[in-house]
C-alpha cells in the first residue's frame, strides 16, 4: 500500500485536492495515463481531465482507482467532497469527513476495524449512513441539486454506506429523535422504504439504534445533530451542527463533555428492541399505495 500522507496537508479546495491526489498517486505508481487506461478500461483522456480538475469523473471510476492504488475509500471520500455544494458541506464538516475517511482506511489497512467506531444523534433526518436512495435524492433536491450533479451526489452518498457492510465494519450507534420518523418524504413509497430500511439495519450486529420519543423532556442535544468518530489511534473527535452553524470539536475536554451529554440522551431513549418495534409500528401506520 502507498505510504499514507496527511490528507489536509495540501490544497484545501476540495476539487483541487482531489485532482492533486490523483496526480500524486499515479506518479508514485509510475504508470502513464495510457497504462492506467489499459489497466482499468477507461479512456486515458478521462483520467487526464480528472487529474487536471476539468472533471471529477463518476463514482465507478473513482472506486476503481481506489482499488488500483490501494487507498480504500479515500479517493471516493475526496470525490464526494469535490462534488459537494459548499452550502451543504461546511468547511469543518469537510475536515470531519476526511478524518472519517482516513480512520476507515487505516483500520482496513491494518485489519483493525474494531479500532474505529461512530456515534450519532439525529434531530430531524436519518443519518447519511442510514438513508435510502429516495431519502438522499429528496434531501439533495431540496438543497437545489439537479441533473447530472444530483445523480453523482446520490451515488456518492449511497456509496459511503458500504462502510457499515461486511464483517470488518465499524460499530455504529445512533439515536434518532422521533421527529426523524415523523418528517416523512413527499413520496410515500420512498418513505415506506426508508422506514423499513431503518428497521432492517437495526438488526445488524454492528448497528445499535435507539429512538428518543416525544415527551422525554428537554436535553442537552435538543436542537443539535451530533456525530462522534473514534480514530484508529484512540483519539475521538466530534462534529456538531444546528440550522446556522457547524463545528468540528477536537479538544479532548469538550469532546468528553459532549460524550457525557450524548450518554444522558441515550439513557432517555428506548432500548434497541423497543426502538425497532417503535419504527415497525410507525411503518404500519403509513398509508398503503392505491391499487387503482
Please report, for the chain, the start and end positions of each structural domain, with discontinuous segments joined by +: 11-83, 112-284
- Determine what percent of the chain is predicted with pLDDT higher than 90: 34
Which residues in the chain land under pLDDT 50?
1-11, 85-90, 107-115, 290-292
- Phi and psi for 286 in degrees, rounded to 5? -65, 145
Q: How far apart are CA 36 and CA 43, in angstroms?
A: 9
Write out the CATH class of domain 11-83: mainly alpha
Number of other residues whose CB lies within 10 A of the CB of residue 92: 17
Sheet architecture: strand order including 117-122 = 207-212, 172-177, 117-122, 225-230, 236-241, 246-249
Helix (H, G, I), strand (E, B) or coil at 251: coil
Assign a CATH topology to domain 112-284: Endonuclease; Chain A (3.30.870)
Which residues are 207's β-sheet partners? Answer: 172
Is there a contact between 259 and 228 (Cβ–Cβ < 8 Å)?
yes
Quick: pLDDT tens for 244-262.
677 888 899 999 999 999 9
pLDDT at 266 (0 to 100): 96
pLDDT at 50 (0 to 100): 84
pTM comes to 0.63
Amino acid at each position: 500500500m502507498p505510504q499514507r500522507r496527511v490528507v489536509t496537508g495540501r490544497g484545501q479546495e476540495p476539487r483541487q485536492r482531489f485532482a492533486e491526489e490523483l496526480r500524486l498517486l499515479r506518479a508514485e505508481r509510475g504508470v502513464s495515463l495510457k497504462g492506467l487506461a489499459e489497466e482499468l478500461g477507461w479512456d486515458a483522456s478521462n483520467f487526464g481531465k480528472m487529474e487536471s480538475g476539468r472533471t471529477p469523473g463518476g463514482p465507478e471510476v473513482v472506486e476503481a482507482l481506489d482499488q488500483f492504488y490501494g487507498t480504500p475509500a479515500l479517493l471516493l471520500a475526496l470525490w464526494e467532497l469535490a462534488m459537494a455544494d459548499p452550502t451543504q458541506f461546511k468547511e469543518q464538516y469537510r475536515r470531519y469527513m476526511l478524518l472519517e475517511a482516513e480512520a476507515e482506511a487505516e483500520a482496513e489497512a491494518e485489519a483493525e476495524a474494531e479500532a474505529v467506531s461512530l456515534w450519532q444523534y439525529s434531530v430531524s433526518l436519518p443519518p447519511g449512513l442510514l438513508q435510502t436512495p429516495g431519502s438522499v435524492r429528496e434531501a439533495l433536491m431540496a438543497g437545489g441539486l439537479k441533473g447530472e450533479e444530483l445523480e453523482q451526489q446520490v451515488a456518492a452518498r449511497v456509496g459511503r454506506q458500504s462502510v457499515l457492510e461486511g464483517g470488518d465494519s465499524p460499530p455504529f450507534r445512533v439515536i434518532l429523535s422521533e421527529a426523524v420518523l415523523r418528517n416523512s418524504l413527499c413520496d410515500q413509497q420512498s418513505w415506506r422504504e426508508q422506514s423499513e430500511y431503518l428497521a432492517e439495519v437495526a438488526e445488524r450486529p454492528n448497528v445499535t439504534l435507539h429512538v428518543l420519543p416525544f415527551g422525554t423532556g428537554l436535553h442537552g442535544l435538543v436542537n443539535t445533530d451530533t456525530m462522534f468518530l473514534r480514530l484508529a489511534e484512540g483519539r475521538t473527535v466530534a462534529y456538531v451542527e444546528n440550522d446556522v452553524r457547524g463545528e468540528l470539536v477536537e479538544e479532548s475536554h469538550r469532546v468528553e463533555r459532549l460524550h457525557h451529554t450524548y450518554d444522558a440522551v441515550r439513557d432517555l431513549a428506548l432500548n434497541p428492541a423497543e426502538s425497532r418495534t417503535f419504527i415497525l409500528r410507525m411503518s404500519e401506520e403509513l398509508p398503503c399505495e392505491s391499487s387503482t
